[in-house]
Amino acid sequence: MLRGFATISYWADDVEAARDWYAELLGIEPYFIRPEQGPPAYVEFRVGDYQDELGIIDRRYAPEGAAGGPGGAVMHWHVDDVPATFDRLLSMGAKEYQPITPREAGWVTASVVDPFGNVLGIVYNPHYLEMLASLKGR
């Protein structure tokens, strides 16, 4: 069955611009680019504590009938400070999709639409921190 998050893929009409935007946001360069020469059709970053993969794919390769705008599921990335991360995303040209919303038990969520039309969720997730601490304690 499902064993854990591995890769999330976002679509972009301009993969180079998306690569640059995410490199600035994440503070890292992609580790994988194809093709290696010329305009990229796919780039991939390894992100966070578990080196989860964020792929950006040229929209030309989207399945037939794929939504051209935001919609569907929202994948949330854990962040330590939702308001600061949300403000940074907005300052970089993202648009609010869901406002900052305190949830029960210390959870806080929000999401934006990146400049390329993808929904990017952020969450303060106490469970994530508990699991990370327990794994580091092994």
Homologous superfamily of the 73-138 domain (CATH)? 2,3-Dihydroxybiphenyl 1,2-Dioxygenase, domain 1 (3.10.180.10)
pLDDT given for residue 71 in this prediction: 78
75-121 pLDDT per residue, tens = 999 999 999 999 999 999 999 999 999 999 999 999 999 999 999 99
Q: Sketch the domain layout of the chain as residue ranges.
A: 1-63, 73-138
pTM above 0.85, yes or no: yes
Averaged pLDDT, 1-24: 93
Please state which CATH number belongs to domain 1-63.
3.10.180.10
Sequence-distant (≥ 6) Cβ neighbours of residue 91 within 8 angstroms: none
19-59 pLDDT per residue, tens = 999 999 999 999 999 999 999 999 999 999 999 999 999 99
Largest Cα–Cα separation, the chain:
48
Position with higher pLDDT, 84 vs 70 = 84
Residue 60 CB neighbour total at 10 angstroms: 9
Contact 124, 108 (CB under 8 A): yes
Answer yes or no: same fold for 1-63 and 73-138: yes
